[in-house]
Chains A and B, each alone.
Chain A
């Protein structure tokens, strides 16, 4: 594969050559490649990373994914992994029931920022405080993507959304909740990290975070959490190719990446 193939073309330019299948990149546990999400969306990359980790760790016959409600819910019915669909915000309590009833399973929640931080904040905070042996994945793009780009609890100050047209300002809309930082402060959390999927380097770093989070669950050490910053060019009202950079400048500038807590690592 040459770099030429990976070059991002402006979406309004006609293709210079007809489309052809270069390779089938569909991970083993995704049944069909089609997901109907917008071009440039970061959620499929994040989902793919989660499914790759489950497959590579040989956990496919143990994993149960619990989905929240958002654009990513489109994946709930095309995975070759057992899926339990939750109501908006409620995935951590369902995952708690799954894990407590069947401790031999690997329970992973997939939730967006609207789902986890707005609607269901209490759920995830208590699951973390209980040290629930589940892994929660937050796909954070700072907007309600599915409803068309409205402010969430993680929208950064100055960020324009459909209901903060002049940008979020603290006086009217308060401050963003930094989820990973919040959960890292709870005694029950064992592993808390924040990654992103806007560059190849960030994708591989994020995948390692997911691996670690799942390992922590396997070892029964407590609650594990990976926040993944994802692009939403549609909900951000920007050109598709600008989204990775916008993520760095706007979202990641506030929700900064890294491993915030890892009880398995020895302090240096």
Chain B
């Protein structure tokens, strides 16, 4: 298909359908609403189902049911709606049900929610954070692959800019390699066989096996699988100018794209600054950030929040260099995360202040 000019939310919907998503459920909330609209248009013609759920609780419940039948399914919301979904997102991980969850965040203050979550229990999940529409269409497809690969929910962290920016995109099916057979999925067919399938966060063994609900045994098994998932998932990050960077700036998502632009600009002006843009927020690209920090004078974390990812940066750096938070709460009155703090001049001045504190701004660089 030739490249088409598409709004980000529609492009994400298109990418999900291209990835084989055939079930979507949601409850309107901007900027997630537009993805729901896109799925409502795109799924029926390909034989899929899009449900207008009565709340976020039912939205994720419906997606859970569909996903448990081996159907590629997705749901999502925005910060508050995802808060409502936390119980299910957690238990989906424990029940080992693959599901793609869109986090069309209004700012970057959902970092903790995405990577730690408000849910209970000892779960882990992969979180992918695109910086623009094109990358979002690729990562949306990767999310389905990873969910099926590890039988675990995977989150895509979008934002208002990604949802509402028009970009020319060429969406083709991406091949990420083979997947394990989904012979665990419910179809009804194994009933009466003596080995009827059970998909449950309370364990997948039968009483007949003389184990019943041994929650400890089951939790350990789930934990082992999640450890395997973390070990088997290469953290993804884009880096630039790190070879001789004395100042390193870490940022993700749309602000990450702005930071990249500013760093490239400053490099042209002779400032020894580089950047790391985490693409997987979990697992966090710890090794990349540490390697960059070891030869830097200072590391800055730019986020559109009061400072959440900075925790992971500090954990990665482990004292190898001072870590400064140079982001801030959104200045946008609507709280959609589109405020004046995500502009080149503002980000440039914050990065320059950091570089000045490290004493590495050459003469003549415009402030």
B53 interface residue per 8 A CB criterion: yes
Among A85, A99, A104, A126, contact of B54 (Cβ-Cβ < 8 Å) = A126
Among B66, B67, B196, contact of A80 (Cβ-Cβ < 8 Å) = B196
Q: For the complex, what is the distance from the CA of A96 to the CA of B198, rounded to whole Å?
A: 18
The stretch that binds B, out of A7-15, A86-94, A169-177, A217-225, is A86-94
Q: For the complex, what is the distance from the CA of A163 to the CA of B71, rounded to whole Å?
A: 44
B residues less than 8 Å from A55 (CB atoms): 192
| Among A64, A67, A93: residue with most chain B CB under 10 A | A93
**DSSP class of A's interface residues: helix, strand, loop or mixed?**
mixed
B65 interface residue per 8 A CB criterion: yes
Contact assessment for A97 and B62 in the assembled complex, using a CB-CB cutoff below 8 Å: yes
B207 interface residue per 8 A CB criterion: yes
Do A83 and B200 form a contact, CB below 8 Å, given A93-B58, A94-B65, A97-B65?
A: yes
Q: For the complex, what is the distance from the CA of A227 to the CA of B111, rounded to whole Å?
A: 44
A-contacting residues, B202-246, CB 8 Å = 202-203, 205-208, 212-213
A61 interface residue per 8 A CB criterion: yes
Contact assessment for A101 and B49 in the assembled complex, using a CB-CB cutoff below 8 Å: yes
Contact assessment for A77 and B196 in the assembled complex, using a CB-CB cutoff below 8 Å: no
Do A61 and B191 form a contact, CB below 8 Å, given A77-B213, A98-B65?
A: yes
Interface flags for A60-71 (1: CB within 8 Å of B; 0: not) read 111110110000
A243 interface residue per 8 A CB criterion: no
Contact assessment for B54 and A122 in the assembled complex, using a CB-CB cutoff below 8 Å: yes
Distance in Å from the Cβ of B297 to the closest Cβ of chain A? 50
Do A77 and B51 form a contact, CB below 8 Å, given A83-B196, A90-B61, A102-B187?
A: no
The stretch that binds B, out of A25-33, A152-160, A207-215, A230-238, is A25-33
Contact assessment for A101 and B65 in the assembled complex, using a CB-CB cutoff below 8 Å: yes
Contact assessment for B73 and A77 in the assembled complex, using a CB-CB cutoff below 8 Å: no
Distance in Å from the Cβ of A135 to the closest Cβ of chain B? 14
Contact assessment for B57 and A93 in the assembled complex, using a CB-CB cutoff below 8 Å: yes
A76 interface residue per 8 A CB criterion: yes
Nearest to B200 among chain A residues (CB) is A85
Contact assessment for B196 and A123 in the assembled complex, using a CB-CB cutoff below 8 Å: no
Contact assessment for B201 and A81 in the assembled complex, using a CB-CB cutoff below 8 Å: no
A residues less than 8 Å from B212 (CB atoms): 77
Q: For the complex, what is the distance from the CA of A190 to the CA of B91, rounded to whole Å?
A: 32
A105 interface residue per 8 A CB criterion: yes
Residues on B lying within 8 angstroms of A by beta carbon are 22-23, 25, 49, 51, 53-55, 57-69, 71, 73, 87-88, 91, 95, 186-194, 196-203, 205-208, 212-213
Chain A to chain B contacts (Cβ below 8 Å), 27 pairs: A32-B207, A32-B208, A61-B190, A77-B200, A77-B202, A81-B191, A82-B186, A82-B197, A83-B200, A84-B65, A84-B68, A84-B200, A90-B58, A90-B61, A93-B59, A93-B60, A93-B61, A94-B68, A95-B65, A96-B51, A97-B67, A98-B65, A101-B65, A101-B66, A122-B54, A123-B58, A123-B61
Residues on A lying within 8 angstroms of B by beta carbon are 28-29, 31-32, 34, 54-55, 60-64, 66-67, 73, 76-87, 90, 92-102, 104-106, 122-123, 126
12 further A-B pairs in the complex, CB-CB below 8 A; given A64-B69, A101-B71: A67-B200, A76-B200, A80-B191, A82-B198, A85-B198, A87-B87, A94-B61, A98-B68, A102-B188, A105-B188, A106-B188, A126-B58
